[in-house]
Structure 1
Amino acid sequence: MNKKQTLSLGGMMLGAAILYTCSTPRYVKNNPVQRDADGKIAVNRKPNPAPMSPEESMKNIYLPKGYHLQLVASEPMVSEPVAIAWDGNGRMFVCEMNTYMQDIDGTGENKSLSRIKLLEDTNGDGKMDKATIFIDSLLLPRMILPLDGRLLVNETYNENIYSYEDTNGDGKADVKKIVYKTDVADTRNLEHQRSGLLWNLDNRIYVTVDATRYRFMNDKLIPQPMIESGGGQWGLANDDYGKLYFSSAGGENPAFNFQQPPHYGSFNFNDQFNDEFQAVWPIVSTPDVQGGPQRYRKDDSTLNHFTACNGQSIYRGDKLPADLKGDLIICEPVGRLVRRAKVVNTNGKITLVNAYQKEEFMASADLNFRPVNSATGPDGALYIVDMYHGIIQEGNWTRSDSYLRPQIQKKGLDKNIGRGRIYRVVYDGFKDPKKRPDLLKRSSAELVPELANANGWWRETAQKLLVLRKDASVVPPLESMVKTNLSPMARIHALWTLNGMGALNKDVLFYAFNDADAQVRKTAIWASEDFLPENTDEVMAKIEPLKLDPNANVRMQVALTSRFIKSQKADDVVAYLRKAPASNAAFVASQAKYERLLADRERSARNARAMADAEKKLVLDGGVIFKQLCQTCHGSDGKGITVGSSTPAPALANNKDVVGDPEKLIKILLHGLKGPVDGKTYPDVMPALGHNDDAYIASVISFIRNDLGNKAKVVTAADVKKVREKTQGRTTNWTMDELNAK
């Protein structure tokens, strides 16, 4: 960093707001790759690890012909950005994790020195020129959701969620109110905690990891338990029709649980994408890969497989080529790339395919390029958040005995801190829209037409604001929109807006059951769930004929909605649709998985009834932790997960080491595990969980030993304490050879 940059950064630290001028040209030439005789991109095998200026970094980023990057903001305006969101007037909130891995040991990571910035483009040229510290002194903020001038925020290691508001217009929050309170400390590793806080089409707010969604009512977040967690880690996406997309870096799983909304239960097909999709194509040799040599291609030392998949979004804008709309964008910061996946719907079954043949939508030869999030902006462009940080792996994986540590130190990646860039992807001829967001200023009547906007950001923001206002004067135009608007998307948003306002009547709802568009019919069935159980017979009478709908997606929704309706007619509908496996294959597989879940839970309940109360509590507590943390890699049933042909972690079900000497398991949870297990090498280490208390460790192990098809004596906190004292001072992961020798 030069002297001028240092002074600018110092000014940012001292002042609450700055003005910043970005002189980046409109388009930077960003096709730096060379190709061989076969047309394959030639990999840069000896990249310079030194940080580059934004302009130089952009020159090292590849995009397909016609696409270009524009710099929206960079250091000193932003530092360590990880997430962005816009308020109704198009101002951008930026989460900064300013203490994340500031050295290779993560020193000071848990200090409350992070921020949320408010960025503004005051002249409409697409570049941010004003920055204000909206909230200071936060602990690694990870979830934000703009409402109607308020911003919901969650910090790491805490499950409380607060609303912040700027009431005097100076760009700094001056009102803070709690909207969700638990006061339960979240001791999970930083990488395993929740993200999201996504307001979806159904007016529910979703997060990753936990089996809970929320509604915002009367200035509070009201939790709604789901039958099963959607899982996931960093990042959560939704499409135009409310389908959610999760990802799991720990499970090396770029996308999952997108077949159906998670409140119907977790469900995936083994072939929803193949090994070819899991292969990634960097344009630079990749030194810092957790998992070591098995994650490198031998010929060019590039990352060969998704490992840090995160920050996904569905492109829902209107200013890029039409064939990009509806595609899934997945960030891969270890590979320094961004995947574009085509989403294919075949009779209700969703599959993913790379949009390019052995190439990526975006890839960089800059070793410090770290894409961690993506989003569709109010201007219709695609935004990419580049943390531009040397280390992209949390401290549990950079310990003294890790594979990563020497790789990071050799390249000096631990020295790159305090930077960050936000880009937008545009296309040839892109011009900033003359129409700039002003939705917070508009009347409710003026918001209604935006439900038909071609850009998904405008539609969902208008819906959110109308639901929050609950202005009864717009009910008639919304009802008219459901029945007469030519845009299916407008009719869908009008239905959900009425639903969220508590103003959707059965006449309008049942009218939509017969809409000419299949997605509208599907939406109406989904929305009808909020009329249950008070109107069960009447609702089922309207749903039942749609079991014969010609569209597989509609039939799938009929089946999923009927799954939880307590009536004979609903049971008959489910049974009917199960008997037509050729035309309803997606639902048949989903229902079989759901019934296995119920059987597993009944077995667990029987086992619990036979236990003493203290033992039962241990197992129940451990089950909650397992579902939040462990199932990402080991599977919800403990049988492991298979992503293509890859298995990220060993199975725990019917495992001799699980039901054997408990000291082995205690040691693993306290200090972690690396290396082969039963002759098989896995791509990731089992991280140490010893920072948690003895009761936490005991409960997880007790659950694993008394569920998932296992049966063995529970482990108590006293058992854990003895092993903790016995192994005190250990700083490295165990190996199975060590454990088996003792």
Structure 2
Amino acid sequence: MTTFTRLLILALLCLPAVLFAAETDPFPEPFNTEKSISKALPGDQTAAGIRMPEGFQATCFASEPDVRQPIAMTTDARGRLWVAENYTYSERLENFTDKLRDRILIFEDSDNDGHYDKRTIFWDGARRLTSIEIGRGGVWALCLPELVFIPDRDGDDVPDSEPEALLDGFVYETGRHTVANGLRWGPDGWLYGRQGILAQSLVGKPGTPEEERIPTNVGIWRYNPERKVFEIVAVGTTNPWGMDWNAQGELFFINTVIGHLWHVIPGAHYRRMTGPDLDPQIYDIIEQHADHVHWATGEDWTDVRRGVSGATSKAGGGHAHTGLLIYQGGSWPSEWNGKLLTVNFHGKRLNVERLEREGTGFVGKHQEDNFAFPDPWFRGVDIIPAPDGGIFISDWSDSGECHDNDGIHRLSGRIYKLNYGPNKPREYGDLEKMESVDLALLQNSSNVWLERMSRRVLSDRAALGHDQTGATAQLRKMIAGKQPDPLQRLRASWTLHAMGANDWTDLAPFLEAKDEALRAWAIRLLEDGSHRNPDWQKNFLNHALREFPEMARSEPSGLVRLTLASLLQKLPPDLRLPLAAELLSRGEDAKDHNQPLMLWVGILPLAETDNRSFENLIINARLETVQRYGARRLAEEIDEHPDRIDYLLTQAAEKCGTASCQAILDGLADGISGRRQVAKPRSWERVSAKFLSKANNAMRYRLQILGAVFGDGLAVDALREVALNTANSLPQRKAALEALVEARVPALREVCEALLPENELTVTAV
């Protein structure tokens, strides 16, 4: 992080008062700076013109002037739609303007005809408002650089007091379109959020010293309201602006430019749009979890700004995506259950994906894009479930992209509602008025909105100190029934956990459940709950040493093994070894999309130990990727700790097969890459002979290159012969010459002069 960025963050932390305006100040009238003379289609006309499958219908729920610049949405227990309007977003040079303010609106559709009939301004004193969520007796809002809580404990739609800043340090000056966003309650009771790549934030409670703040760049984060804890969940990608959980509680988010779909694996390091991972020892990253992209691969991702080509339209419409919803509403035809929907920003449509289990995780498969919007100004931003099983889609409504260079059109905006068949009266009214026992029973609902909202209300009541004895008894009954449905057990366990009402004995039996989601979530919740009391923590640490390693040894589910790999980062380094050893013995995960990289991140701190445990872990592993990274990590410190390389090579030569030996030698070469001469390991002559006895051609060549760097005369002679012998292939000769040049071997000049006349080798020889 640059000195300028640090000073900027500290300056912002000293100016919280700039966020809010006095309620007595009149709300500044928004204005346009948009230069385009084109116009958006009217909202009703757009809704009528949406291309949809037969049986679906769309309505314009609200449009300008009643809603403008809708940057985020959520719903409350009464089924009302809350919308965050952002007017302070401005041109590139101004970034965000202080001349305007942002606000939070409430829309109510009392007869559920798909059009709102009551509009309320909840709060109009915000600036840099990017997201809202309801819960714990008030409203949560990202008003950069802060996460604030606006209390409304009596539910009269009037803030009880000024907002309370719970976190600050979310930077917005360095990238106004990749800022913190996306507040959503997770099934575990944490409040989740996102951040884009151009914001280098230092997040903490107000007043936290810089050195105690958590560096936050791009990825997914979460906040625990009861423990007041902020943590990073996963890092990487470009600009996440949409996420949702599937029925089994697996989180997915949408992205732009480099790949659109990502499975949130706690502790994961994903590909970044620019540059390597911020940790230089994270040698590789996890790529997207889809088998396709939504643009023509022969085009540059920026070409779409000049219009969507036919090839890109056929592929899906373009690289940019906003909003994500996994349909679980229960009112659409059954084939839609579990389908993932996301707005394709340039394609003006909803991309549809099918999520399939593959290996330890998931892969997204592109389906037919069934929903297309006719309005050239359609700029969908958010998608959320509606209370009746439909969905809401917010439309920023502008002629440009999110990072406009042609001005801002602040006076437009729409909310569309999509449903199958006509809008029907809601099954339930205000969930806040229901008995807690009845709310617990809604965990069985086929409508995900009812399931999630009832969980949120129950967790609110628990957090606010209400007696929940009846609800907790009902939830435990749902878990322990004679033939409980796995999904019912999962939902009930989430709700108990979000309420802070479960204990070790509620969760531990799930470790032996038949359903993989129950086993995976038992691991996550047992760790999360270990902060609640000493007995729970003691049980958890004992499991980390014994039961979890035993589980890893025989666990048939890749998803559960991935969850155990993710767990490594939550354990103290001295407790990681037994679990890591068992996971690294599972050779079936060697080529998996996620597992090798998750295990590498999990064992990386063990490289700091000097008791040979790390070296033995690498030698005995059956995942060659991890073996290569482990050898590289040790080789980077070969000058400081030559004995560790000696031990690694000696043991590998004795115990490892060809593939593992190749991986370790490749890692050794990676670790000393770019160095001309390196002191030869003491055991090199002996171990290199043993390696040669089991070597294939690639391994033999690797030994020659390493030998040259170590000053091994025989290896140098072999490389020289390869380079000069015209009977060898050109790639082989070029690689041998490059190795000789990099090692600056004796008599290099003569070899290079001999090869100068050969055109294909001239550049390297020079």
Coarse TM-score class (shorter-chain normalised):
0.5 to 0.7
**Which amino acid counterpart does residue 345 of structure 2 have in structure 1?**
P
SS of residue matched to 1:62:
coil
Structure 1 residues 530-559: Cα deviation after superposition (integer angstroms, max 9, x where no partner): 354432454344434433233322232233
Quickly say closer, same or farther: Cα 1:433–1:345, change in 2 above 3 A.
farther
In structure 2, do the counterparts of structure 1 residues 546 and 300 end up closer, same or farther at CA, with 3 Å as the change threshold? Answer: closer
Aligned to 2:124: 136
Mark the CA change 1:378 to 1:332 in structure 2 (over 3 Å): closer, same or farther.
same
Instruction: Report Cα offsets for 1:181-227 as digits up to 9, x if no partner.
Output: 43676423211211122211122222112377444445x74323557
Match of 1:261 among 259, 265, 285: 265
- C-alpha change, 1:196 and 1:48, in structure 2 (3 Å) is same
Which is worse superposed, 203-212 or 446-455?
203-212
Give the letter aligned to residue 440 of structure 1: E
Alignment check: 8 A CA contact 1:83 1:142 kept: yes
Rounded Cα–Cα distance in structure 1 between residues aligned with 2:603 and 2:509: 36
> Which residue is 1:509 aligned to?
507
Residue 246 (str. 1) matches residue 253 (str. 2): yes
Count of residue pairs brought into register by the alignment: 534
Mapped contact 1:338–1:371 kept (Cα < 8 A)? no
Within-5 A mapping of 1:479-498: 479-484=476-481, 486-498=484-496
Q: Secondary structure at the match of 1:513?
A: helix
In structure 1, distance between residues paired with 2:124 and 2:504: 47
Provide the residue aligned with 1:425 in structure 2: 418
Deviation at 1:134, TM superposition (A): 0.8
The farther-off stretch of 335-344 and 498-507 is: 498-507
What amino acid does structure 2 have at the position aligned with 1:319? S
Matches within 5 A, 1:585-600: 585-586=592-593, 588-591=595-598, 593-594=600-601
Measured after TM superposition, the shift of residue 571 of structure 1 is: 2.8
Residues 230-379 of structure 1: matches in 2 within 5 Å? Answer: 232-249=239-256, 251-256=257-262, 258=263, 260-263=264-267, 265-266=269-270, 269-270=286-287, 272-275=289-292, 277-279=294-296, 290-291=302-303, 296-297=308-309, 306-356=318-368, 360-379=369-388
AA matched with 2:491 = H
> In the alignment, residue 134 of structure 2 is paired with which amino acid?
P
How far 1:519 moved relative to its partner? Answer: 1.5
Q: Where does 1:44-55 land on structure 2 (aligned, <5 Å)?
A: 49-55=38-44
CA distance in 1, matches of 2:563, 2:59: 41
- Alignment-derived partner of residue 150 in structure 1: 138
Q: Distance in 2 between matches of 1:168 and 1:580?
A: 53
- In structure 2, how many angstroms separate the alpha carbons of the residues matched to 1:50 and 1:225? 42
Distance 2:351 2:311 in 1: 22
Greater shift in the superposed pair: 57-66 or 531-540: 531-540
Separation in 2, partners of 1:183, 1:566: 28
Q: Partner residue of 2:152? A: 165
3-state SS in 1 of match to 2:150: strand
CA apart distance, 1:131: 0.3
Partner of 2:193: 207
Aligned equivalents of 1:108, 1:500: Cα separation in 2: 36
Pick one of 78, 101, 104 that aligns with 2:67.
78
1:467 aligns with 2:459: yes
Inter-partner Cα distance in structure 1 for 2:311 and 2:516: 49
1:556-571 matches, cutoff 5 A: 556-562=562-568, 564-566=570-572, 571=577
User: Hey, what does 2:166 align to over in structure 1?
Assistant: 180
Deviations 1:107-127 (A, max 9, x none): 974434221101111223332
Change (3 A) 1:568 1:108: closer
C-alpha distance in 2, partners of 1:95/1:153?
Answer: 9
Instruction: Give the 3 Å change call, closer, same or farther, for CA 82–181 of structure 1 in structure 2.
Output: closer
Give matches, 1:690-705, under 5 Å: none
RMSD: 3.9
Query: Does residue 1:579 correspond to 2:566, yes or no?
Result: no
| Structure 1 position 142, deviation (Å) | 0.8
Distance in 2 (alpha carbons) for counterparts of 1:229 and 1:272 = 13
Contact in 1 for aligned 2:527/2:540 (Cα 8 Å): no
Structure 1 residues 333 and 109 mapped into 2: Cα distance closer, same or farther (>3 Å)? farther
Give the direction of change, closer, same or farther, for the CA distance of 1:571–1:323 in structure 2 (3 Å limit).
farther
Whether the 8 Å contact between 1:252 and 1:309 is mirrored in structure 2 is: no
CA gap 1:275/1:596 in 2 versus in 1, 3 angstroms: farther
What percentage of residue pairs aligned between the two structures are identical?
21
Secondary structure of the structure 2 residue equivalent to 1:458: helix
Cα 1:205–1:526, aligned 2, differ >3 Å: closer, same or farther? Answer: same
- The aligned amino acid for 1:452 is N
User: 2:359 and 2:414 mapped to 1: Cα distance?
Assistant: 41
2: CA distance between counterparts of 1:366 and 1:106? 28
Report the counterpart of residue 441 of structure 1 in structure 2: 433
Distance in 2 between the 1:591 and 1:128 partners? 47
CA contact (8 A) 1:332 1:372 kept: no
Match of 2:433, SS state, is: coil
Shift of residue 153, structure 1, vs aligned partner: 0.9
Counterparts of 2:242 and 2:439 in 1: how far apart (Å)? 29
What is aligned with 1:530? 528
Q: Is the 8 A contact 2:89 2:176 kept in 1?
A: no
Q: Secondary structure at the match of 1:78?
A: coil
Which residue number corresponds to residue 543 of structure 2?
539
1:318: how far off? 0.9
Q: Compared with structure 1, are the counterparts of its residues 231 and 277 closer, same or farther at alpha carbon in structure 2 (3 Å cutoff)?
A: closer
Q: Does the 8 Å contact 1:536/1:565 carry over to 2? A: no
Q: Which of 450, 455, 470 is the equivalent residue of 2:447?
A: 455
Q: Which range moved further: 577-586 or 137-146?
A: 577-586
Residue 715 of structure 2 is matched in structure 1 by none
Alignment of 1:587-736 (within 5 A): 588-591=595-598, 593-594=600-601
Partner AA of 1:83 in structure 2 = A
AA in 2 matched with 1:161: V
| Amino acid paired to 2:319 | T
- Matches of 1:276 and 1:537 in 2, distance apart? 42
- Which structure has more helix as a fraction of its residues? 2
Per the alignment, in what secondary structure is the counterpart of residue 484 of structure 2? coil
Partners of 1:538 and 1:179 in 2: how far apart?
A: 38
Distance in 2 between the 1:301 and 1:348 partners? 32
Equivalent pair of 1:85/1:93 in contact (CA under 8 Å): yes
Shift of 1:93: 0.5
Partners of 1:80 and 1:514 lie apart in 2 by 49
* Runs of at least 5 residues in structure 2 that lack an aligned partner in the other structure: 1-24, 29-35, 196-215, 272-284, 531-536, 608-628, 641-672, 675-766
Q: C-alpha distance in 2, partners of 1:431/1:51?
A: 26
After TM superposition, give the deviation of residue 86 of structure 1 in Å.
Answer: 0.5
Partners of 1:431 and 1:517 lie apart in 2 by 36
